[in-house]
A and B are shown apart, each in its own frame.
Chain A
Amino acid sequence: MFQIKEQSPVYDVCIVGSGAGGGMAAKILAEAGLKIALMEAGPDFDPADPDSQTQLKWNYESPRRGASTPTRSFGDMDMAYGGWEIHGEPYTRKGDSEFDWFRSRMVGGRTNHWGRISLRFGPLDFKRKDFDGKGDNWPIGYEDIAPYYDKVDKLVGVYGTRENIPNEPDGYFLPPPKPRLHELYLKKGIKKLGIPVIPARKSVLTKRLNDSRGVCFYCQQCNRACNVYADFSSSSVLVKPAGETGNMDLYVDAMVREVLTDENGRATGVSYISRQDRQEYQIKSKVVVLAASACGTARIMLNSKSDRHPNGIGNSSGVLGHYLHDSTGASRSAILPELLDRTRYNEDGARGMHIYTPWWLNDKKDLEFTRGYHIEYGGGMYMPGYGVGFGMEHQNGRIPGKDGKMKKAGGYGLSFKEDVKRFYGAGIGFAGRGESVPQKDNYCEIDPDVVDQYGIPVLRFNYHWTKDEIMQAKHMQDTFEEIIHALGAVPNGEKPGADTNYGLEAPGRIIHEVGTTRMGTDKNTSVTNKYNQTHDVDNLFVMDGGVFVSQADKNPTWTILALAWRSSDYLIDELKKMNI
């Protein structure tokens, strides 16, 4: 019925996915002179394009005032095309498993809207098993990746400060922005508890980095993608320069279904369905790099079955899709009475926090969990949008009014109107982001019964948190409560208890999912070697978060970038040596 169309050129490398890992691979490999096909499942996207722009738009320009929609999970102005559910592209969960999968279909993928928190993993993070006996060590150590973190810092740009904290390695930092008012209160209160607070580390350009990108103008909207490229998006920082080498063709709206192989089981390219005409096409290449996100890549590999790869390509170990793990997350919020009726001024800074708390209890052995978490802080006078003024009945009955008297919660009229103004900018928020212990039993697999609208079999998730993650969330809540009390703040809502796993978010919700194609020295227990090359197929590489052995309590992007660069250098070297 379908005529499969082969594209004419044979590329040196076909890269699937244009996010952090695929973008980095495209840039390094194209600049090395290799001919690249870059495959993206969504449309083309450039943060500087005025047609797609939401940056500096007012929420009232949106008929829903910026509220989220099924196509923009994080709000109408957020720059992620996709979200927790994509129409026509389902995924499923087995039994009582919980897992939510955030996908972004566009050039640059999820890097267009992410939080820009850019943390290096530390020496301990690669060898956690040595300390708690759980999970596995990485086949590499900090010293292997450090030179690439250095290069990423200088290429992409990250602000921060050199703190000399053992497991929080310093980098080549741009100077950070000054803390805001609520952050000064937080610093003061938290210091008393012996919990560290240091400047955030984010890939936002507080100073000029080079002539091709602008400098941050403090609109607080990195999640809307930056028109002057003053933050890191793969689309602007990696894919664009890769294209400008003249060595790359970008294929958009191309849903890659599988890796094609020859009779020896080696990769020969990929097949994809065009979202425009629903026809199937093929790309031929000498090397295939998968960077479609940890789960996207696992799905493509599991769907790439042949006589030589009966369980999916690169899956002779049977661990493909296994060891899937996300960061833990739990949060709480409060009202800081000192900020009621605060003086107004333009407080927009770089998006999100200017300060944070790195994990501070690595040496403590008597916790009821073994891996750490960091704390992100929120607050400030944000642009009013959907949600402003909501739930006033949970606030204005809990703090005395200007006259010092308590009043009934809720209300209407001028007194209510004034209350919304009074409480504006007085909230503070706490979000813990922690390391989970990877489990073989947490995995994604191909659902035997379900295909998406392109006919491609979909993923089914199997995932349960263990006691480690639940007790870590309990510790987060205890810490948040301690901080709230130290600040003299008024907590919102009840403290989450055991009935809700202490507010522990469902797996996937933190969007740090990794581990499905983990690296290792033993080909029976891992999918790739320490250079992101699959054990089974020498011309098949994985350059996304799938290769993580463990996630650390650090956001994964910086490590994805560093590993993709390292792997690309290795690939170039292997090609030079004629080993591939």
Chain B
Amino acid sequence: MDRRRTLKYLAAGTALTGFLFTSCADDKKYQVAGVPKKAKNPFGYGRTPEELERDKNLSERSFFTSDEAALINVLADIIIPADEEYGAATDTDVFTFIDFMALDRPDFQIPLRGGLQWINQESRRRFNKEFVNISESQQIEIVEDIAYPFDAEPAFTQGARFFSILRDLVACGYFSSKEGIEYIGYMGNTPHVWDGVPQEVLDEHGLAYDQKTLDECVDQSKRNETMDWSGYEL
């Protein structure tokens, strides 16, 4: 490399070490080669073009039949019924979530479809009717035999396995929904300032921050002051 040119580069560089901050991501100050076109995104969160295509496709399809959907909904409300304040599983449309998961993760398909068949077979064997058509107390009689996997009789272990999978999905569908999050009491996902466990909670647990911790942790009243290293020694 030509020596003078090198020096020129280096000298030019010293003048350019400062830079401007822009909050707008599209306002590039430099050339980007090879950028693809952006696809329209009907989902409310960032997706790559490959993900968009797959998710759109899955959202437009359904795995379960309408009969299977009805049975899932009955079981879902047995697993999570309404209480005085909050709704039941079907109030949060857990079926749509479960149906999507069966397409998203095909490993769910046979255990779920087969499990629903198992339930109906058991219902016909005992009561000569499909599960959705028997009385509530008859439904509970079957559910009692499969809801406790470690206590299930040998004749019901497959049913218990199915029920555990469905219980997972129903619980997840409910507790990750807007209503379920309110019920469970999660209060985050919003900008805030974490300044430690509230005093009344510390008191409840008989815990306290020691002085060292209080001294070394961030003073949140000064969080927006630029860090000053003067006097800082290693």
Identify the A interface with B (CB < 8 A). 12, 30-35, 43-44, 46, 48-54, 56-67, 69, 71-72, 76-77, 79, 81, 87, 150, 154, 157, 159, 161-162, 170-172, 174-181, 184-185, 188, 199, 206-212, 215, 217-220, 241, 243-254, 274-276, 286, 338, 342-350, 381-393, 397, 408-414, 416-417, 420-421, 424, 572, 575-576, 578, 580
Expressed in whole angstroms, the Cα–Cα distance for A30 and B15 within the complex equals 12
Beyond A69-B51, A176-B216, A390-B168, whether A346 also contacts B190 by CB under 8 A is: yes
Q: Which residue of A lies closest to B101 (CB)?
A: A64
Minimum Cβ distance to chain B for residue A145 (Å): 14
How many contacting A-B pairs (Cβ < 8 A)?
346
- Most B C-beta atoms less than 10 A away, residue of A69, A251, A384, A580: A384
Expressed in whole angstroms, the Cα–Cα distance for A180 and B196 within the complex equals 6
Minimum Cβ distance to chain A for residue B220 (Å): 9
Is the beta-carbon distance between B45 and A383 smaller than 8 angstroms?
Answer: no
Is the beta-carbon distance between B225 and A207 smaller than 8 angstroms?
Answer: yes
Is the beta-carbon distance between B33 and A249 smaller than 8 angstroms?
Answer: yes
User: What residues of A have a CB within 8 angstroms of the CB of B147 in the complex?
Assistant: 410-412
Expressed in whole angstroms, the Cα–Cα distance for A59 and B29 within the complex equals 34
Is the beta-carbon distance between B178 and A60 smaller than 8 angstroms?
Answer: yes
Is the beta-carbon distance between A57 and B14 smaller than 8 angstroms?
Answer: no
Expressed in whole angstroms, the Cα–Cα distance for A206 and B225 within the complex equals 10
Between-chain CB contacts (< 8 Å), 11 pairs: A33-B12, A33-B16, A180-B197, A199-B216, A243-B30, A275-B34, A346-B194, A348-B192, A410-B167, A420-B171, A576-B10
Is the beta-carbon distance between A420 and B175 smaller than 8 angstroms?
Answer: yes
Expressed in whole angstroms, the Cα–Cα distance for A170 and B233 within the complex equals 10
Q: Which residue of A lies closest to B29 (CB)?
A: A244
Beyond A178-B195, A208-B227, A410-B147, whether A383 also contacts B172 by CB under 8 A is: no
* Neighbour of B172 across the interface among A81, A253, A388, CB < 8 A: A388
Minimum Cβ distance to chain B for residue A390 (Å): 5
Q: Which residue of B lies closest to A58 (CB)?
A: B189
Is the beta-carbon distance between B25 and A59 smaller than 8 angstroms?
Answer: no
Expressed in whole angstroms, the Cα–Cα distance for A437 and B27 within the complex equals 47
Is the beta-carbon distance between A218 and B45 smaller than 8 angstroms?
Answer: no
Is the beta-carbon distance between B79 and A413 smaller than 8 angstroms?
Answer: yes
Chain B 1-21 per-residue mask, 1 if CB under 8 angstroms from chain A, else 0: 101001111111110110111
* Neighbour of A212 across the interface among B21, B105, B192, CB < 8 A: B21
Expressed in whole angstroms, the Cα–Cα distance for A219 and B11 within the complex equals 42
Q: Which residue of B lies closest to A34 (CB)?
A: B9
Is the beta-carbon distance between A33 and B9 smaller than 8 angstroms?
Answer: yes
Q: Which residue of B lies closest to A228 (CB)?
A: B23
User: What residues of B have a CB within 8 angstroms of the CB of A575 in the complex?
Assistant: 1, 6
A199-B217, A384-B176, A420-B184 are known contacts; what are 7 more A-B pairs with Cβ within 8 Å? A48-B25, A61-B45, A207-B218, A208-B227, A276-B34, A346-B188, A412-B147
Q: Which of B64-72, B113-121, B122-130, B200-208 contacts A (4 or more CB under 8 A)?
A: B200-208
User: What residues of B have a CB within 8 angstroms of the CB of A345 in the complex?
Assistant: 187, 197-198, 201
Chain B 36-78 per-residue mask, 1 if CB under 8 angstroms from chain A, else 0: 1010010111101011001100110000000000000000001
Expressed in whole angstroms, the Cα–Cα distance for A41 and B140 within the complex equals 56
Expressed in whole angstroms, the Cα–Cα distance for A246 and B41 within the complex equals 32
Chain B 210-227 per-residue mask, 1 if CB under 8 angstroms from chain A, else 0: 000100111100111111
Is the beta-carbon distance between B175 and A245 smaller than 8 angstroms?
Answer: no
Expressed in whole angstroms, the Cα–Cα distance for A179 and B201 within the complex equals 13
Give the number of chain B interface residues (Cβ < 8 Å): 111
Beyond A62-B45, A64-B100, A348-B194, whether A56 also contacts B176 by CB under 8 A is: no
Is the beta-carbon distance between A348 and B34 smaller than 8 angstroms?
Answer: no
User: What residues of A have a CB within 8 angstroms of the CB of B3 in the complex?
Assistant: 578
Expressed in whole angstroms, the Cα–Cα distance for A391 and B46 within the complex equals 30
Expressed in whole angstroms, the Cα–Cα distance for A53 and B160 within the complex equals 40
User: What residues of A have a CB within 8 angstroms of the CB of B172 in the complex?
Assistant: 65, 386-390
Is the beta-carbon distance between B168 and A389 smaller than 8 angstroms?
Answer: yes
Is the beta-carbon distance between B41 and A51 smaller than 8 angstroms?
Answer: yes
Minimum Cβ distance to chain A for residue B120 (Å): 18
User: What residues of B have a CB within 8 angstroms of the CB of A250 in the complex?
Assistant: 30-33
Beyond A67-B104, A207-B222, A252-B32, whether A57 also contacts B19 by CB under 8 A is: no
Expressed in whole angstroms, the Cα–Cα distance for A295 and B53 within the complex equals 30
Q: Which residue of A lies closest to B37 (CB)?
A: A276
Is the beta-carbon distance between B19 and A385 smaller than 8 angstroms?
Answer: no
* Neighbour of A31 across the interface among B16, B24, B29, B224, CB < 8 A: B16
Minimum Cβ distance to chain B for residue A17 (Å): 15
Beyond A63-B100, A64-B101, A392-B167, whether A421 also contacts B185 by CB under 8 A is: yes
Is the beta-carbon distance between A383 and B19 smaller than 8 angstroms?
Answer: no
Is B173 close to A, CB under 8 A?
yes
